[in-house]
């Protein structure tokens, strides 16, 4: 891992078109600004882990529910259609 020291207001460049600027330090929090082209997606790292875990759980619970699943889906259908009636 490349480790650099920067002062507030200073930046680093990654490649030609990504720029990260260090804006503010408050206690243990750092605010950074990221300039990147629109094809580069920027998200907090933990969201990837959270979504991955949710996908794995969705696949696992769907497999585990097995034969009961049609019953659960029927209940869900009733739940959703019930709300439709209330709205109308």
Partner 1 sequence: MKIHTTRFGELDIEESRIITMRGGILGFEHLKRFFLYAAGEKNPFWWFQSAEDSSVAFVVIDPFLVKADYTPEICDEDERLLELEKAEDVVVMGIVTIRHDPFGISVNLRAPLVINAAKKLAKQIILDNEEYPVQYAVSAGRTRTEQAATVK
CB of 13 to partner 1, least distance (A): 20
- CB-nearer residue toward partner 1: 4 or 64: 64
Q: What is the DSSP string of 15-71?
A: TTTEEEEEEEEETTEEEEEEE--TTS----HHHHHHHHHHHHHHHHHHHHHGGGHHH
- CB-nearer residue toward partner 1: 6 or 60: 60
Q: State the residue for tokens 């696992």.
A: 60
As a whole number of angstroms, the distance between CA 36 and CA 55 comes to 28
CB of 10 to partner 1, least distance (A): 26
- CB-nearer residue toward partner 1: 17 or 74: 74
Site of interaction with partner 1 (CB under 8 A): 38-41, 43, 47-48, 50-59, 61-63, 65, 68-80, 82-83, 86
């Amino acid at each position: 891992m490349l480790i650099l020291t920067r002062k507030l207001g200073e930046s680093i460049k990654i490649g030609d078109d990504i720029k990260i600027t260090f804006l503010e330090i408050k206690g243990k929090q750092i605010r950074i600004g990221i300039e990147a082209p629109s094809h580069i997606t920027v998200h907090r790292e933990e969201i990837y882990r959270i979504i991955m875990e949710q996908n794995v759980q969705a696949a696992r619970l769907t497999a585990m529910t097995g034969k009961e699943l049609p019953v659960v889906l029927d209940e869900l259908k009733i739940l959703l259609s019930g709300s439709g009636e209330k709205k109308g």
